[in-house]
Amino acid sequence: MTQQRDTIAHYQTPEGIELSLSLAGPIVRGVAWLIDFAIRIVCYIVLAIFLKWLGGVGGGLMLIGLFLIEWFYPVFFEVRNGMTPGKKVMGVKVVHDDGTPVSWTASLLRNLIRPIDLLPICNIAGFIAMLLNSRFKRLGDFAAGTIVVYVRDEIRVFSIPEYPSCPAPMPLLLAEQRLILDFCERTEKLSRERRQELALLLRDLTGRKEPENRLLAYGNWFLKGKASR
C-alpha cells in the first residue's frame, strides 16, 4: 500500500533529538474503523449462532459477549502492538504523543470516549474534530494524549560510533548539536577524506587535527553525557 503523508508530527526528546512521525488522516482511519466494525459484526454473528441453543442463559452470555467485544476489542489489540486488525491492514498504529507505545490507561480512555466521537451518526463528531486540528486527533485522542501514525515511521533512534566523550569548547544551539549528531550518525557511510572535508567546515570547534574524531567526541557527549567517557 502506498503511504500517504498527511502531515508530520515533531517531538523533541530530552537529549535534544527531534523525532518525526507521519500522521494518519481521517480517510485512512475511517477505512480502518470500517474494517474493524465488519470484524466485530462477524464475531457477533458467530457468537449468536453458538449461544442460541442455550436459551435464556445463551441470551445473557450473548449480552456479556457483546459488551466485551464492543469495548475491549480495540483495547486488546492497541495495547498488544498498537494496531487493531483494521489499523494493521491500513498500516497505521496508535502511540502516545511522544511516540511511545500506547498504555492500557490511554487505550481505555480513548475508546471509552469513542461513543461521543460517533455522534450523531457515523463518527461525524470525531471526523470534524480531526479536521480542526493539525494532528488529526479525535476527541478520544485529546483525552488520552494519543495520535495515530503510519507504521513505517517508527521512532528513529540515533546510533553513533562509540568514542570517548567531551563537551564542545563553546555553548551550541540545538540546531548545531543536531548537525553534529547527524554527522556522527553518517560517519561509517562516508570515506575518510569526505569525513575530514565535512569536519573541517567546523574548524572553529574541532581544530585541524583529527577533526572528525572531535565531532564524534562531542556527539557522544550530546547523546550520552559524561557517563560515556
Mean pLDDT by 10 residues, the chain (229 residues): 54 58 89 94 91 80 90 93 94 90 93 88 85 90 93 60 81 80 79 79 74 82 61
Is residue 202 situated within a structural domain?
Answer: yes
Is residue 168 situated within a structural domain?
Answer: no
89 and 127 share one domain: yes
Q: What is the pLDDT of residue 124?
A: 86
Distance of CA 40 to the CA centre of its chain: 25
Q: What is the pLDDT of residue 32?
A: 94
- What span, in angstroms and rounded, lies between the C-alpha atoms of 13 and 23? 18
Is residue 116 situated within a structural domain?
Answer: yes
Is residue 132 situated within a structural domain?
Answer: yes
Range of the domain at 207: 174-224
For residue 176 the three cell numbers come to: 548545531
Which residues have C-beta within 8 Å of that of residue 6, sequence separation ≥ 6? 22, 23, 24, 25, 28, 136
Q: What is the pLDDT of residue 93?
A: 94
Q: What is the pLDDT of residue 158?
A: 55
Is residue 133 situated within a structural domain?
Answer: yes
Q: What is the pLDDT of residue 161?
A: 79
Strand locations in 117-207 (E) = 146-150
49 and 84 share one domain: yes
Beta carbons within 10 angstroms of residue 115's beta carbon: 12
104 and 190 share one domain: no
97 and 197 share one domain: no
50 and 144 share one domain: yes
Q: What is the pLDDT of residue 225?
A: 62
For residue 187 the three cell numbers come to: 560517519
Do 221 and 167 meet the contact criterion of CB atoms below 8 Å apart? Answer: yes
Give the number of domains in the chain.
Answer: 2
28 and 132 share one domain: yes
27 and 134 share one domain: yes
Is residue 108 situated within a structural domain?
Answer: yes
145 and 218 share one domain: no
Q: What is the pLDDT of residue 110?
A: 94
Is residue 157 situated within a structural domain?
Answer: no
